[in-house]
Structure 1
Amino acid sequence: MAGPAKRTIVDPMKGYFKLRKRAIEILDTQLSDKLYYHGVDHTLDVLKVVEEYITREDLDEREACLLKIGTLFHDIGFTVSNEDHEKHSAVIARKHMEELEFAEEDIKVVEGLIAATRIPQSPKSYLDKIICDADLDYLGRDDFWPISNSLFDELKAFGKIEDKLQWNKIQITFLQNHTYHTEFAKTHRQPRKEERIEELRNIVKQGIND
């Protein structure tokens, strides 16, 4: 009598392209139109930064694929709820990875990557550190202000913030408490982030509220 069929384990590279298509389709069609920051553009921006890390760090194919999968799914839980979205993201990622027959150890890596992005960030592995720094890469970039404004618009739309003055005070505290984890971000993002803190302090000092 034949035993149970052996479960096929997908090659991460082949599975990645299928998951990328699924994730982008979900983000494109199921997110609230009030998510001015946490939309598909944010996910694709983080993915671009992650891919730059992969090239610089010369990660192996499996690590690179899992890191990109974690990135694609890290905010997908916003399709379910704005609260504890990382938990929902992990559930959705597991569902789709199981459907494509990923190995359990690979699914757990992705779940860990998603969990690491929860604020305050708690990276445990080096891959965790990369996704955390990629997720908040904009804090030390030239496009900080337009991205920051999109997050303000989102929070205001959901009634979590009242005005720009309140928002800028929150930003100062957040940026001061935030820590980059990779050497690249410490060298190339931290200095500009410190400049943003000084700019925000001056804006708050002047009482500017627009």
Structure 2
Amino acid sequence: MQHLPECQLILNKLKNELSSNLFYHSIYHTLDVYHSAESIAKEEGITDSDLKLLLVGAVYHDAGYLIQNNNHEQISCEIARQYLPQFLYTEEEIDLICGIIMATKIPQRPKTHLEEIICDADLNYLGRTDFLSIQEKLYEEMYAFGYIENKKEWNKVQLNFMQNHHFFTPTVIKHNYLQKEKNIAIVQSKIK
């Protein structure tokens, strides 16, 4: 699939420059969020012009990991502000894209429909059947960076996160809610 040049630029950087310890926050996660956002947006009836901003936001949302893990969303916005003007994005469009990026910061607090879509695209794996393999990558990443010490601690953190998380869009609630409840039960069973 052909991406916009402003997206291809960042995808190339993510592919070639990300830390090898980013098992979860990899180019595969970025592409997963991109495709999820595109799918959700279509079902939510988003216009083409808004869809373009959403998808650029999806590609840039974790670009900050190229520089640092903490507050990577803010760095992602700085990267967007650095590159997007050369692709003729207006300041207003870049502000909207940065709103989309910042909405993914945990805890998620989206203010617009596009921000709700990116939040759901970013975490929709919580309600998917490939949840176990994806959360294993997140565990490996958090362990590699010393954020958690073992699987027991990880399962407790994951369970707490999942129980406090909620989806925002009718589309993702419809398609992912029930599977998320099943996934919560799986994580609970690992703790007992």
Q: Could you tell me the TM-score, scaled by structure 2's length? A: 0.96
Q: Which whole-Å CA distance do the structure 1 matches of 2:6 and 2:88 have between them?
A: 12
Q: Distance in 2 between matches of 1:136 and 1:144?
A: 10
Which protein has the bigger helix share? 2
Mapped to 2, the partners of 1:53 and 1:153 lie a distance apart of: 28
Shift of 1:54: 2.6
Q: Give 3-state SS (helix, strand or coil) of 2:4's partner.
A: helix
**Pair 1:86-2:73 in alignment:** yes
2:22 aligned residue (12, 21, 35): 35
Provide the rounded CA distance (Å) in 1 between the counterparts of 2:14 and 2:168.
27
TM-fit CA distance, 1:153: 0.3
CA contact (8 A) 2:25 2:62 kept: yes
Q: Over residues 149-201 of structure 1, what are the superposed CA-to-partner deviations in whole Å (9 max), with x where a residue is unaligned?
A: 00000011111111111100001100000010001111221111111111111
Residue identity matched to 1:160: Y
Amino acid at match of 1:138: Y
Q: Which residue of 2 aligns with 1:143?
A: 130
Unpaired stretches in structure 1, ≥5 consecutive residues: 1-15, 206-210
Q: Given the alignment, which residue of 109, 116, 130 partners 1:122?
A: 109
Residue 36 of structure 1 deviates from its aligned partner by 0.1
How many residues end up aligned between the 2 structures? 190
CA distance in 1, matches of 2:46, 2:170: 15
Q: Which moved more, 1:52-61 or 1:147-156?
A: 52-61
Q: Specify the alignment match of 1:201 in structure 2.
A: 188
The equivalent of 2:154 in structure 1 is 167
2:77 is aligned with what amino acid? A
CA distance in 2, matches of 1:56, 1:116: 20
- Taking structure 1 as the reference length, the TM-score comes to 0.88
- Find the counterpart in structure 1 of residue 119 from structure 2: 132
1:68 aligned partner = 55
For 1:85-124, what per-residue CA distance to the aligned partner results, in whole angstroms no more than 9, with x for missing partners? 0000000011111122211110000000000000000100
1:25 equivalent in structure 2: 12
**Which protein shows a greater Rg?**
1
Distance 1:187 1:123 in 2: 19
Which residue identity lines up with residue 102 of structure 2 in the other structure? A
Distance 1:189 1:56 in 2: 14
Q: What residue is the counterpart of 2:40 in the other structure?
A: 53
Aligned residue in 2 for 1:208: none
Q: Report percent identity of matched pairs.
A: 39
Runs of 4+ in structure 1 deviating by more than 6 angstroms, as ranges, are none
Query: Which residues of structure 2 form unaligned runs of 5+?
Result: none
Q: Tell me, in whole angstroms, the C-alpha distance in 1 between the residues paired with 2:92 and 2:126.
A: 32
